[in-house]
Amino acid sequence: MSLDRTAICDYFLSLQDSIVTSLEHEDSKRFHEDSWKRDGGGGGRTRVLLDGVTFEKAGVNFSDVSGEFSEEFARQIPGDGRSFTACGISLVIHPRNPFVPTVHANFRYLTRGSRAWFGGGVDLTPYYPFREDVIAFHKIWHKACLEHSNVANYDKLKNWCDEYFFLPHRNEPRGVGGIFFDYLDSNLDEVLSFVKKCGNSFVSSYLPIVKKRKSHEYSEAHKEFQEYRRGRYVEFNLLYDRGTIFGLKTGGRIESILMSLPLKVRWLYDYQPKLGSREAELYDVYLKPKDWAREV
Amino acid sequence: MSLDRTAICDYFLSLQDSIVTSLEHEDSKRFHEDSWKRDGGGGGRTRVLLDGVTFEKAGVNFSDVSGEFSEEFARQIPGDGRSFTACGISLVIHPRNPFVPTVHANFRYLTRGSRAWFGGGVDLTPYYPFREDVIAFHKIWHKACLEHSNVANYDKLKNWCDEYFFLPHRNEPRGVGGIFFDYLDSNLDEVLSFVKKCGNSFVSSYLPIVKKRKSHEYSEAHKEFQEYRRGRYVEFNLLYDRGTIFGLKTGGRIESILMSLPLKVRWLYDYQPKLGSREAELYDVYLKPKDWAREV
């Protein structure tokens, strides 16, 4: 059984609108919009804000593509035949202030042959985390799952996120996690409700943190650490990220796919945080999977 | 038939010494050295210079590792069994001045079961290229091949380089090329002579360009374009580079493998060089495979 794709696409389009509007309220700069067509079917609507006051680089992408998987790529995806459709929204927000975390969210509806499923997730990547922010973020996703517990088991989706956003070559999580899911294909109507709940919760999970921390004082050293940690974001997205690889393998628009990469990044050599520093705290306390939603 | 590994390793170690000495003459900063051991066999000697006067980041790595390939990785490598040995030198130099190109070189000797072969290459990645520099660089490698033409066909190795250092997702070469080879396994004594000729030619292919351009005046805009173009270097190394993937898959030392990534990088959104600009010239003239060695 599959759902009404048009209605789902319309929801993702309206979600893009509302998220962009909320983000623009936080920045004096406006998003730039590019609509694009994909050779082979479909296209997208990319919105990017570059070098803003609050956001250094923010991309909120909608895409609705269809076509044929390559034979090689088809082997990695469930379903039958090579025809596919995929629509969804994908966003990454890299703030200027190192005390504001980077956030990523993605929700997508895929079909291949007779199979249809949802995938998605939201995860937070702080540089200088605040305990209360991390807890508040996780509680939002805990609540969204509880309201749709017949299709979304919070513990499963939280652990999936910790496992997915992990850099094996660094033996290090990308950030403090959130939720992640893929191939949710039973009870699709209910899954759609869950996905909408998540989509509609995004702004309330992130913007309060932005408001609270965007004016936090910072030094050049804080900025350098932020740029250094962003290197991990690039490593993850280019080495492991399913969405990035999906886009590259299915001939998506390259500038839309790689809008997830931060504006400024640096790779030091063999950097080690100083014992007892705020930087060491990130590694010692926050880059360790933890049941934040149940902390107080 | 395989060669005397110890003698080959010693050659690579002495090559690392001589290249590092030459580079240190060009910079007031010294290289930092880390010796490391690999779980499972072997280790390496990493030398990195960070934030120097002439070089923003330069890494010259020696490694000599051995062990067992994973089953999955073994499928991608010629030879029999899962035991392997690999020794070699790998270097990437990211200069500070945007008028000096980035350079990469790698020479390695591998064995798997009863098979043994050499691989390697050298390629140049300019930001603001000078025609005479590009020609001079290619002529060095042309000459090295001519002297060992029974094992090194210049046109083949030059084309191999153009094909290998190519970013399919950008439909763009990484730079202006050089030479590349892998799996050279017949007439190994002669191949070793060729590899030594290449190793010993490296300094003369690159340092004259550094000397000529390192004091070229540049603006913040030149620097930004350099940092933007370095993004391509990161994309190539994390998405496609054999050496990087070999290192990650065989449990090499992560900071030594990723020393190839530049110190500072930026990802803009949908950047397009201005018509007729020096930046457009890079794309229009230089990022197109060309038989530079035979230009005058």
**How far does A282 lie from chain B, in Å, by closest CA?**
20
Contact status, residue A84 vs residue A109, Cβ threshold 8 Å: no
Structure confidence by residue, pLDDT tens digits, A154-184: 999 999 999 999 999 999 999 999 999 999 9
Three-state DSSP state, A75: coil
Beta-carbon separation of A227 and B264 below 8 A = yes
If one compares A144 and B75, the residue with the highest pLDDT of the two is A144
Confidence of residue A286 (pLDDT cuts 50, 70, 90): very high
Task: Please state the rounded mean pLDDT for residues A82-92.
Answer: 94
Q: Can you give the residue range of the structural domain that contains B87?
A: 5-264+272-294
Amino acid letter at A254?
I
> Residue B1 has what pLDDT?
58
Q: Which helix (H) or strand (E) holds B35?
A: strand B32-37
Query: Whole-prediction pTM value?
Result: 0.95
Q: Is the pLDDT of residue A264 over 70?
A: yes
> Residue A250 has what pLDDT?
76
> Residue B26 has what pLDDT?
95
Dist CA B106 CA B89 (whole Å)? 6
> Which among A169, A258, A266 has CB closest to B267?
A258
Dist CA A115 CA A182 (whole Å)? 13
Dist CA A282 CA A230 (whole Å)? 13
Dist CA B11 CA B191 (whole Å)? 14
Contacts of residue A169 in chain B, CB cutoff 8 Å?
A: 248, 254
Best A49, A102, A169 member to test B by mutation, with max B CBs in 10 Å, is: A169
Contacts of residue A170 in chain B, CB cutoff 8 Å?
A: 254
Question: In the structure encoding, which two tokens stand for residue A219, read together?
Answer: 């030094």
Dist CA A218 CA A197 (whole Å)? 35
Structure confidence by residue, pLDDT tens digits, A115-136: 999 999 999 999 999 999 999 9
Distances (CA, A) of A214 to A22, A30, A227, A262: 15, 18, 17, 17
Three-state DSSP state, A95: strand
> Residue A1 has what pLDDT?
58
Per-residue three-class SS string for B161-202: HHHHCEECCCCEECCCEEEEEEEECCCHHHHHHHHHHHHHHH
- Residues belonging to chain A with any Cβ–Cβ distance to chain B shorter than 8 Å: 32, 34, 48, 50, 57, 59, 169-170, 227, 231, 234-235, 238-239, 248, 254-255, 258-259, 261-270
Q: Is the pLDDT of residue B290 over 80?
A: yes
Strands (E), A126-190: 166-167, 172-173, 177-184
Beta-carbon separation of A57 and B267 below 8 A = yes
CATH for A17: 3.40.1500.10
Contacts of residue A61 in chain B, CB cutoff 8 Å?
A: none
**How far does A194 lie from chain B, in Å, by closest CA?**
32
Contact status, residue A222 vs residue A98, Cβ threshold 8 Å: yes
> Which among B238, B255, B269 has CB closest to A238?
B238
Beta-carbon separation of A269 and B48 below 8 A = yes
If one compares A72 and B14, the residue with the highest pLDDT of the two is B14
**Cα nearest neighbour of B171 on chain A:** A254
Domain count, chain B: 1
Which of the residues B25, B32, B104, B169 is marked catalytic?
B104
Dist CA B207 CA B124 (whole Å)? 12
Burial class (CB in 10 A: 0-12, 13-18, 19+), A254: middle
> Which among B32, B34, B238 has CB closest to A235?
B238
Q: Is the pLDDT of residue B249 over 80?
A: no
Structure confidence by residue, pLDDT tens digits, B182-209: 999 999 999 999 999 999 999 999 999 9
Contacts of residue B238 in chain A, CB cutoff 8 Å?
A: 234-235, 238-239
Task: Please state the rounded mean pLDDT for residues A246-271.
Answer: 91
Beta-carbon separation of B255 and A270 below 8 A = yes
Q: How large is the ipTM?
A: 0.93
Structure confidence by residue, pLDDT tens digits, B1-39: 578 999 999 999 999 999 999 999 999 899 999 999 988
Q: What is the largest CA-CA distance in chain A?
A: 55
> Which among A34, A255, A270 has CB closest to B34?
A270
**Cα nearest neighbour of B270 on chain A:** A255
Q: Is the pLDDT of residue B88 over 70?
A: yes
**How far does A134 lie from chain B, in Å, by closest CA?**
27
**What is chain B's mean pLDDT, rounded?**
95
> Which among A32, A238, A255 has CB closest to B239?
A238
